[in-house]
Amino acid sequence: MSSFQRLRQVALAVILIWGWKRAVIAMAAGALSVLALAPFNAWPVLFVTFPVLVWLIDGTGAGRLGGVPAAALTGYWFGLGYFVPGLYWIGYAFFVDADVFAWLTPFAVLGLPAYLSIFTAIGFALARLLWTKDATRILALAASLTIAEWLRGHALTGFPWNAFGYALSEPLPLAQTASLIGQWGMTFLTVAIFASPAVLIDRTPDGRMAWRVPAAAVALLVVMGIFGAIRLSLHPTTMVAGAKLRLMQPNLQQDARFNYSAKAEVMKKYLALSDRASGPQSTGVRDATILIWPESAFPFFLTREADAMAEIAELLPKGTVLITGSIRAPDLPPGKPVTRAYNSIYVIDHDGSVLAVYDKLHLVPFGEYLPFQDTMEKLGFEQLTRMRGGFIPGTVRHVLPVPGAPPALPLICYEAIFPGEVGGRDERPGWIVNLTNDGWFGISTGPYQHMEQARMRAVELGLPLVRSANTGVSAVIDPVGRTVASLGLGIEGILDANLPTAIPPTLYARVGDIPAAMLVALAVLLAVRRRIAKRPPRSRRPVETAGIL
């Protein structure tokens, strides 16, 4: 028996399977697909798992209502298999304050994936509506899942974590295509390329057509790699003159960070670590013009603690500024207690004066606020940060002026996972500063995924990324995604580096998601046209399963 015949047998078995076995296969395909993401980056596994998705949808054609409900259920099981192992690390956050939140861990680890899987179910259902019996069904699946992933990234404030397009974030030459079509375009290409081998088992008139689609997909990967290699060669890493960075990674335990009694201990650690010599020729913080501390750096309101501000002023030499995360109290009448706060970034000069402030816009549901906050609090619930009333969202994203460097685009924590989160449209920033605290998620795959997604924003926009994280990964990334310097997960230390120079605006930076929308629209148009053209008369229409029968 030839390998082609064996492949056909496997495909037929998947197409014809039903019941709980179909659910198991879909979940297994989802779980294996997680290996394509950071830190594993084993993206060739998708050449195995995505064809299985095509065959599973092929088999739903025998179901009622054109197979749409069966396809949706299949998509739901695939999503559950994908999101549970991909997001298991969320459970770590509920053990930071275990006495209060540990009992919620199963609900978080299973509940969030159960919600996100609704979107993959929508994608599969839409694909079934567009399904054909030839290779056009690959485009139908790519377009449908891209639409579903876009919805996942926007509905109810959005959560586009681990979008399928991140599978092509490594190797770096492949990632460069994001500078043209953004993350949603990369998602479309990822599904189309890796699902293409499914058509190898289709019957074709000349016996050769089936090979052309996967061959074209491999050729597209090669073209992407060549484009990426050329782009990397055309943009060697260059540095901003006179801008010297020092990133401080304290690796503090999460429970110490929101405890006011730890104020003196936290400040002592930050100050000492920031001024630590990094080598025989180092003079500590005096080597830097920009010192950067991570998100929510203090368990207190920084600017309301005169002694802390004085210690910062004493630390910073003339010509050096501090960029730091901190919770910020709103402006209130004298004597009124502070009940809510902003999650903010400060730029502080060497004399202790505040030069600029940015308030986080995109707050984390259940972490920084609760949906239906008042009602949930009356029922006894609270978000992980335990700030009654939740954090206050900022009102506008704007660039931060930084003395001695170009203006910076501020992104706090998971704001960096949202494609298109671009501020200062009237003034292009010179770099992205991303302050985060991944200490909530321990030593797990979560911080690596977070880092990889932040790096893709640099590639998309042609802007260098400077990422300061409490427990890591802290890094300096150039505008095409090369790592200039990094400090690994779970390490205490400092990272000295120069600031890379931005490159001219990318196509994605200029036009946003228009190219991705055009790809999706064209694929939908082709699928609809093909489906209408191939539809037999109602009186003799066969049961539609796949092009192999």
What are the residue numbers of the active site?
Answer: 295, 360, 413
As a whole number of angstroms, the distance between CA 88 and CA 109 comes to 6
Nearest to 60 by CA among 16, 120, 97: 16
DSSP 344: E
- Residues facing 476 on adjacent strands: 466, 485
As a whole number of angstroms, the distance between CA 547 and CA 530 comes to 13
Q: What's 381-443 look like in SS3?
A: CCCCCCCCCCCCCCCCCCCECCCCCCCEEEEEHHHHHCCCCCCCCCCCCCEEEEEECHHHHCC
> Maximum distance among all alpha carbons in the chain?
86
User: 265-278: buried (b, 16+ CB within 10 Å) or exposed (e) per residue?
Assistant: ebbebbbebbbeee
Contact between 252 and 269 under an 8 Å Cβ cutoff? The reply is: yes
Q: Tokens in use for 540?
A: 């003799």
As a whole number of angstroms, the distance between CA 156 and CA 365 comes to 9
Phi then psi for residue 7, to 5 deg, are -65, -40
DSSP 502: P
Q: Tokens in use for 134?
A: 């030839």
As a whole number of angstroms, the distance between CA 91 and CA 440 comes to 9
Cβ within 8 Å of residue 183, ≥6 positions away: 160, 163, 165, 166, 419, 456, 460
Specify the DSSP element, H or E, that contains 325: strand 321-328
Q: Tokens in use for 494?
A: 């400092």
Question: What's the full length of the chain, in residues?
Answer: 549
Nearest to 182 by CA among 453, 398, 426, 427: 453
Burial class (CB in 10 A: 0-12, 13-18, 19+), 496: middle
As a whole number of angstroms, the distance between CA 322 and CA 327 comes to 15
